[in-house]
Amino acid sequence: MKRVLLVTPFFPPQHAAASLRTASFARVWAELGADVTVLTTKKRRDQQGMPAKVPGVQVQEIAFQVKGFIERARADHKREQAGEPKIGSTKEGRAAKVKRWTGAYSAARMPDVTDAWVRPAVAWAKLHGPWDIVVSSIGPYTAHLVALKLKQAGVAARWVGDYRDLWTGNHIYHGLFPFTLKEKYLERRCLAAMDHVTAVSAPLAKWLQRRTKVTVDIIPNGFDPETERSVQSLPESEPAFRLVYTGSIHRRGQSPEPLLQALKILDMGRDKSSLPIRLVVAGSSQPLWSARANKLGILHMIEGRGLLAQEDSLSLQASADALIVLDWDHVDAGVLTTKLCEYLPCDAPVLAIGARQGSGECVVEQVLQATGRGLHLGGDAKHISEVIEKMVDDPSALGLVKNNAEIAVYQRPGLATKMWKIMTADQSN
């Protein structure tokens, strides 16, 4: 039986899409016969919301202490992501701008809260090693730093580095000088020491492959078929055509503006006796949506649901008439979000909004085309409004044909099994 150590700050009960990926890895590997231990952070009060138990998996949370100003910076960043002002201030300060543009303190770039977790995590893993396989999943980058120390200490026979997002090549954050110099040095050392590398999309894999001699495989984000089959649609409070968005928003690279402008066009041009159009928003980004909608005078078209448990979020998606994805302004980012994959088994068509089209590198558009699940509408508000109007009049107007075989590629158990084959390739039992 292989001893596997999965190093990841994101893991249940932390309420995050990244936790779903890592939890599925751990659960399936245990089912395949591995002795799986997850090395993660001690969860804070605001890092709760998901079932904590993962059958057959030992979870070791490591507590750590950080300086007060870093904790405050982290809290400010979380409020800023949700569109809320910094406590005690109505104006964004210099520190907030630093965090927004560099990714410092936000699980993306140096420095991060979890820097203080690396040393005690390494100490625990050394004491309880050796490990046949160590898998580190980032961000934050600190998971790789723990695994690097274990590899150097000789307690990790094989190391697989998993990139949910890039580190120094991050599509949102360019880093904070002079930490950027240290980051580039450390990532070079990590990539040189890894036995295998995985990434969530082809563009990310391409970026990494130019910087490592080992094979980079693609393990996209996905969805849980068992959970999806048990979902029940939420009852409607009133007749309406409902667009549903249950994701987060990163202000650098994602914008709700094209969709909100499209809703404004529809609000001004439609017969008031027609079926109402509503945008139902759930998650931490709701205040941002509401604030911008209020400025446009269309707050009455927004239904806010706040932060929902995963099962409630899935039920909301199942009751949608259309599902919204906000794509990145940077087409070359190659980001394939968990939210898009979570939408794939639903009945409602998916409308992607925000990124340029026609580059050949837009992975969201590629997935929607291959699965027959939706359209990429770009960022033109008038075009978006016309498509929505057409769907209201005729739900089948888009002419989409589901490709169930392609959708099945994104089932988490299959992806975790593929990852297991990569981890154990060329290894004896």
- Whether 158 maps to a domain, the answer reads yes
Residues 112 and 217 placed together within one structural domain of the fold: yes
What are 198's strand-pairing partners? 162, 217
- Residue-by-residue DSSP string for 21-75: HHHHHHHHHHHTT-EEEEEEEPPPTTS-BS----TTEEEEEE-----HHHHHHHH
Residues 138 and 238 placed together within one structural domain of the fold: no
Percent of the chain with pLDDT over 70: 83
Residues 189 and 110 placed together within one structural domain of the fold: yes
- Whether 99 maps to a domain, the answer reads yes
- Whether 403 maps to a domain, the answer reads yes
CATH for 318? 3.40.50.2000
For the chain, which residues score pLDDT lower than 50?
Answer: 81-92, 358, 428-429
Q: What is the largest CA-CA distance in the chain?
A: 71
- Residue-by-residue DSSP string for 306-339: ES--HHHHHHHHHT-SEEEEE--S-GGG----HH
CA angle 177, 179, 183 (to 5 degrees): 125
- Whether 429 maps to a domain, the answer reads no
Residues 162 and 186 placed together within one structural domain of the fold: yes
Residues 213 and 362 placed together within one structural domain of the fold: no
Identify the domain containing residue 30 by its residue range: 3-222+412-424
- Residue-by-residue DSSP string for 186-201: HHHHHHHH-SEEEESS
In the prediction, which pLDDT does 221 show?
A: 94
In the prediction, which pLDDT does 82 show?
A: 47
Task: Return the SS3 of 8.
Answer: coil
Residues 254 and 389 placed together within one structural domain of the fold: yes
Sole residue written with tokens 């070079």 = 188
Residues 204 and 270 placed together within one structural domain of the fold: no
What are the strands, taking DSSP E only, across 63-199?
133-138, 159-163, 196-199
- Whether 375 maps to a domain, the answer reads yes
Q: Number of folded domains in the chain? A: 2
In the prediction, which pLDDT does 73 show?
A: 61
Q: Which two tokens stand for residue 197?
A: 């590398």
Q: What is the per-residue pLDDT across 393-405, written as a single tens digit (0 to 9) for each?
A: 998 889 999 999 9
In the prediction, which pLDDT does 397 show?
A: 87
Residues 183 and 301 placed together within one structural domain of the fold: no
- Whether 347 maps to a domain, the answer reads yes
pTM comes to: 0.87
Residues 245 and 335 placed together within one structural domain of the fold: yes
Residues 166 and 118 placed together within one structural domain of the fold: yes
DSSP state of 211: T
- Distance (Å, whole) CA 182 – CA 360: 33
Task: Return the SS3 of 7.
Answer: strand
**Long-range contacts (CB closer than 8 Å, 24 or more residues apart) made by 389-397:** 389/266, 389/270, 391/241, 391/321, 391/322, 391/349, 392/241, 392/274, 392/275, 392/277, 395/321
- Whether 61 maps to a domain, the answer reads yes
If phi > 0 it is left, if psi is from -120 to 50 it is alpha, else beta; for residue 77 that is alpha
Peptide bond into 203 cis (omega under 30): no
End-to-end CA distance of the chain: 7
Residues 34 and 146 placed together within one structural domain of the fold: yes
In the prediction, which pLDDT does 70 show?
A: 61
Residues 123 and 244 placed together within one structural domain of the fold: no
- Whether 213 maps to a domain, the answer reads yes
- Distance (Å, whole) CA 20 – CA 10: 9
